[in-house]
Amino acid sequence: MKHFLLTPFLFLFAVLPSSFSAQPNVIIILADDLGWSDTTLYGTTKYYQTPNVERLAKRGMTFTRAYSASPLCSPTRSAILTGLSPARTGITVPNCHMPQVVLEATVAKKGPPNQKVVQPGPPTRLKTEYRTLAETLHDAGYATGHFGKWHLGPEPYSPLQQGFDVDVPHHPGPGPAGSYVAPWKFADFDADPDVPDQHIEDRMAKEAVAFMEKHRDHPFYMNYWMFSVHAPFDAKKALIEKHRARVNPADPQHSPTYAAMVESMDDAIGTLLDTLDRLKIADNTVIIFSADNGGNMYDKVDGTTPTSNAPLRGGKACLFEGGTRVPGIVVWPGITAAGSRSDALVQSEDYYPTLLEGLALQPAAEQRFDGSSILPALKGTDLPSKAIFQFFPHYTVVPDWLPPAVSVHRDDWKLIRIFHGGEKGAHRHLLFNLKDDLSEKNNLATQKPELVAELDALIETFLKDTHAVVPVVNPAFDPKQYHPELEGKQQPKAKAKAPAKDESDPALQGWKARDCKTIVKGGIVHVTNIGIECFLGFSAGKHSGPSTATFRIKSKPGTSHFDWLANGGKAQHVSFSLKGNDWQEISVTIPASGPLGIVRLYLPMQEQPVEVDWIELRSTEGGKVTRTEF
């Protein structure tokens, strides 16, 4: 059963409409890892080209101070859907693709000796007890569809259990499956056969268009949550070459691959806008455009970082402005003035209560929000005394990282509390006037102790109100192992050690398990701890040409795929479906034209074990058969 607390002010407008037909459609476009300086909205880039983002901005209001709920993706996604802070839900890192099901945040008894605090262990799923925006709009008569990245948990925590009628491509992972350019590795979402090297955003936008066409005559709510511009870093070759010719090495934004990824993202937005215009429903559609966190400043592509968030400090995975200030546009016909701009503070948690107020829809009994309606700002007035918070209680190793911290923005001021980062377990603070110091270079905390105390009191109230599981003093802390000079410095990734020997289980008879654990008992392979990339792999180099893979399996219902990788090329795959809950014999046809190379039987992510009895490979030409009886 779902339980909610109702914010009193919502009663003032909580009236169900008499007719659903007049209700506007709602589209939330969420880009992944798109920084504040990655579009042409704010005059901070000369390299990236985003004409369709500009086109969207001309239809509504652009926010210069829009913020994500977190510097990482899953927490922000949960905040948009629930209107609740990550501090309340506990979802504070993007770990929702992990096989372990954890529903509550906890804190261990001690941490590493070089860390002053013990950071919380967060949940790995968005609990279905929270009432989502999709559930509210669905109950109000809206058709609901989710397209793209989810990253809040596989079934039974997928979009289909959180209020959405449709989920494409129904993928629980952190990024696109394998590549942006086909072939992909989605379990049941293939490229169009007549479109060579199809881009995932082109394919996904096509599905979103079909959804809008189907529901053009009654209200719909659609999430278009892009995979772009998250890793892996690849794009259409023609676009990469186009932007390679435009590179200015003196510009900190000079990755042609990333510029091409931004362009494909922008093209998808154009496809949605074209469809709204063609269907003549643009004047009855609310559009919210934002990003889940700031731009990626720590990975490498084309010999450089993917992007630069300048003039903001830091980026994804840190609490400086580059990690949480994001592009923001709201188009609401009849409410927002075309081409308008606002300096109001807005955040991911605000969109849900704003939509309820603007649509005159009633929240559930006892429902509450950590965000607040920004409808006055959409109408062009101020949001007096508004404060927003970001809770990020984790250590990271990216540039400009901070120890576990929480921040508050109010007016032009921003205070960051570093949990127990000072002397003798006291909190440490960073205070910035963003109006005068957008790049956060001048810490004014020692100069304005009264303001620090005032803003820190807001943080304390926020943490208590959300029942946040906060970092605690680490009893195992050893000052001799603490290196404060490394704070904010990106640490080199440890090089993977080459295995001294093949440690595969001989009972698997040449098959190797990845992203899972296996044990062979009674002639059956029992697969547990199943991750998003779990597969059983085998070297099938002696098999060539059209072949068939057959296997006997017991699993929950779902879809997955069988891959082959010939000569180190891109993986190709065929999908299969599982009825589930009993033994089933599956046969898939492999339309190979040469050696199969490595074959992989991918298993659908689930909590209960998967059992495999046997696997057989059979070549059509020559009749070669390899059958593994475990």
The span from the CA of 485 to the CA of 491, in Å, is 12
pLDDT digits (tens, 9 = 90+) for 216-271: 999 999 999 999 999 999 999 999 999 999 999 999 999 999 999 999 999 999 99
Residue 499 in this model has a pLDDT that exceeds 50: no
Lowest-pLDDT choice from 51-65, 140-154, 219-233, 598-612: 598-612
Average pLDDT over residues 295-324: 96
Residue type, 1: M
The span from the CA of 188 to the CA of 206, in Å, is 16
* β-strand pairing of 340-342 with 329-331: unpaired
pLDDT of residue 7: 41
Domains contained in the chain, CATH given: 21-348 (3.40.720.10), 390-417+427-486 (3.30.1120.10), 506-629 (2.60.120.260)
pTM of the model: 0.85
Residue 144 in this model has a pLDDT that exceeds 50: yes
Average pLDDT over residues 388-411: 96
Average pLDDT over residues 278-288: 97
Residue 502 in this model has a pLDDT that exceeds 50: no
- 494 pLDDT tier (thresholds 50, 70, 90): low
pLDDT of residue 5: 41
What DSSP string runs through 563-622?
A: EEE-TT---EEEEEEE--SSEEEEEEEE--SSB--EEEEE----SSPEEEEEEEEEETTT
- For residue 168, say if its preceding peptide bond is cis, omega within 30 degrees of 0: no
CB under 8 Å to 49, separation ≥6 — which residues?
A: 40, 259, 262, 263, 266
pLDDT digits (tens, 9 = 90+) for 90-114: 999 999 998 889 999 999 999 999 9
pLDDT of residue 596: 86
Higher-pLDDT residue of 7, 398: 398
Residue type, 627: R
pLDDT of residue 120: 95
Average pLDDT over residues 333-339: 97
Higher-pLDDT residue of 495, 464: 464
123-127, 176-180, 528-532: which is most confident? 123-127
Would you say 572 and 546 are in contact if contact means Cβ atoms under 8 Å apart? no
Q: For 275, phi and psi rounded to 5 degrees?
A: -70, -45
Residue 477 in this model has a pLDDT that exceeds 50: yes
Which single residue is written with the structure tokens 């529903």? 103
The span from the CA of 396 to the CA of 403, in Å, is 8
Higher-pLDDT residue of 603, 330: 330
- For residue 557, say if its preceding peptide bond is cis, omega within 30 degrees of 0: no
pLDDT of residue 569: 64
Residue 497 in this model has a pLDDT that exceeds 60: no
Q: Is 387 helix (H, G, I), strand (E, B) or coil?
A: strand
